[in-house]
Amino acid sequence: MTICPCCGSKTEGDLRSGCAACGARAVGPPLARPERELPGYGHALFLSAAGALAALLFAAAVAASLLRRESLVFSFDSLLRAAEAAAWRLKWTVLPVAALAAALGAKLYARMRREPARFVGHRAARAGLALTLAVAVALAALVAVTVPERLRRRELARQAAGRALLYASEQALARYRARFGTYPAALSDLRRLDDPDCQISNLLAVIEAGEYKPEAALASLAGGRGRGRSKKSARTRTVAARSTDDLADPGLALTNYELTLPGRDQLLGTADDLRIRDGRVLEGPRAAAAENRRAR
């Protein structure tokens, strides 16, 4: 099988009879191969340059992470933390490029090994390929090591955001109680507060999907028999009203409340609900149930 020099197609037989693809005919015998052929250095140059560039970028990112720290300490722990931070920043840039360069470099080096006489720089090619593989593996390992810690920090950030929303709601309810002497019967009553910077409106847009339960503590005495003792019992009544105008006793002061907001699933009644009762954040539905039992 021969290759036509005109169109590049593979042809069976002698080209002097014509190429089956383009019809070109040989005008003479092929030229003899030169006695000495210069070996190629492109493969070795690519492999060594790829390895050096990957290592240089990784080292520069580690150095930048060290310089961002408050105190420059060259210890194993500080270098490891800087390498983890650098790997996380390079996970979408240098890591995929290094992996692609390593795969391509492996093919080029395999070709160099099949035809060693045609190529030079085998030692440089091996060093460049090894350096590229080392950078790719190191970046992947450092990224994998930091994933659990970053997931934990993300969860802590989500919890902090939920607590901040609960505390903002508590602040708005406390403002309402300081202004009117009672907690609102419904969250929509918070619009009665002065809102020059629209903080109340923005807060209501988020928390109105939650479940708000205001309560009034009504104390009553129950006479007890035996040795002249009397028992004091306090009972709470949950106010089911949409506004303070719906209350049977307009002068009744709502002294307690419980606010439940949907969590990440945006559904009420699930395990990730956010709960606050009288300014105290409740951790999970079990804690909320226990708090309700203690309040009763």
Smallest CA-to-CA distance from 137 within 163, 190, 101 is with 101
Give the range with max mean pLDDT: 208-212, 221-225, 228-232: 208-212
Task: Give the number of C-alpha atoms closer than 13 A to the C-alpha of residue 21, restricted to the C-beta side.
Answer: 13
Contact 122, 181 (CB under 8 A): no
Question: What's the rounded mean pLDDT across residues 139-145?
Answer: 95
Count CB-CB contacts under 10 A for residue 191: 11
Q: Average per-residue pLDDT in the chain?
A: 82
Q: Is the pLDDT of residue 232 over 80?
A: no
156: left (phi over 0), alpha (psi -120 to 50) or beta: alpha
pLDDT value of position 239 = 44
Contact 66, 78 (CB under 8 A): yes
Contact 137, 88 (CB under 8 A): no
For residue 105, name the pLDDT band (cuts at 50, 70, 90). Answer: very high
List pLDDT tens digits, range 8-53. Answer: 787 777 766 777 778 777 777 767 777 787 889 999 999 999 999 9
Tally of residues, the chain: 296
List pLDDT tens digits, range 186-199. Answer: 999 999 999 888 99
Beta-bridge partner residues of 260: 211, 275
For residue 294, name the pLDDT band (cuts at 50, 70, 90). Answer: low
Only one residue has tokens 């020059």, namely 196
Q: How far apart are CA 220 and CA 18, in angstroms?
A: 114
The CA-based angle 227-232-238, given to 5 degrees, is 155
Smallest CA-to-CA distance from 62 within 94, 31, 36, 30 is with 94
User: Poorest-confidence range of 13-17, 30-34, 148-152, 181-185?
Assistant: 13-17
Q: How far apart are CA 101 and CA 239, in angstroms?
A: 69
Q: How far apart are CA 259 and CA 269, in angstroms?
A: 12
The two tokens of residue 52 are: 């050096």
pLDDT value of position 242 = 45
pTM: 0.62
Contact 263, 274 (CB under 8 A): yes
Q: How far apart are CA 188 and CA 216, in angstroms?
A: 18
CA 169 vs. chain centroid, Å, equals: 27
Q: Where are the alpha helices (DSSP H) in 181-246?
A: 199-207
Contact 256, 239 (CB under 8 A): no
Count CB-CB contacts under 10 A for residue 285: 15
Contact 280, 258 (CB under 8 A): no
